[in-house]
Amino acid sequence: MVAQPAQPPIVPSSTPEAAQTEATPIDQILDTLILAKLQSRSPQQQQQVLDFVEFLKQRNPPQSPQKTIWEKIRENTARIPPEEWENMPTDGSYQHDHYLYGTPKREL
């Protein structure tokens, strides 16, 4: 039996997707475990794993990160002209029933 030279793994240890996100310790452990198991497989099995990962990637494309509620509020309020802010009531927090439902203003 002729010994075959060690083949480099098909899956690189560092991908552009991985570089975009900060890895947590559990992610690093999983990466190490997955790569160790993958490297112990035959080249044909490695190719099957790669095909499966590509299938999963196409089936579930990565989503862009969602904006936080504060980012959405900042974007929406940035579109309001300054003169509209000047027309906003200053007592809206304690007179909300008046502004929402038309009830008489409460005396303070």
pLDDT attached to residue 21 = 53
Asked if the structure places residue 33 within a domain, the reply is yes
Asked if the structure places residue 54 within a domain, the reply is yes
Phi, psi torsion values for 54, nearest 5 degrees: -65, -40
Tens digits of residue pLDDT in 57-104? 889 887 888 889 999 999 999 999 999 989 888 898 899 999 899 999
Asked if the structure places residue 31 within a domain, the reply is yes
Asked if the structure places residue 9 within a domain, the reply is no
pLDDT attached to residue 1 = 44
Instruction: Give me the number of domains the chain comprises.
Output: 1
Asked if the structure places residue 5 within a domain, the reply is no
Instruction: Look at residue 4 and tell me whether its pLDDT is greater than 80.
Output: no
Give the domain range for residue 45: 22-59
pLDDT, averaged across the chain? 81
Asked if the structure places residue 1 within a domain, the reply is no
Asked if the structure places residue 48 within a domain, the reply is yes
Helices (H), 14-95: 16-20, 25-39, 43-59, 69-78, 82-86
Asked if the structure places residue 45 within a domain, the reply is yes
Is the alpha carbon torsion for 32, 35, 39, 42 positive or negative? Answer: positive
Intra-chain end-to-end CA distance of the chain, in Å? 94
Instruction: Look at residue 37 and tell me whether its pLDDT is greater than 60.
Output: yes
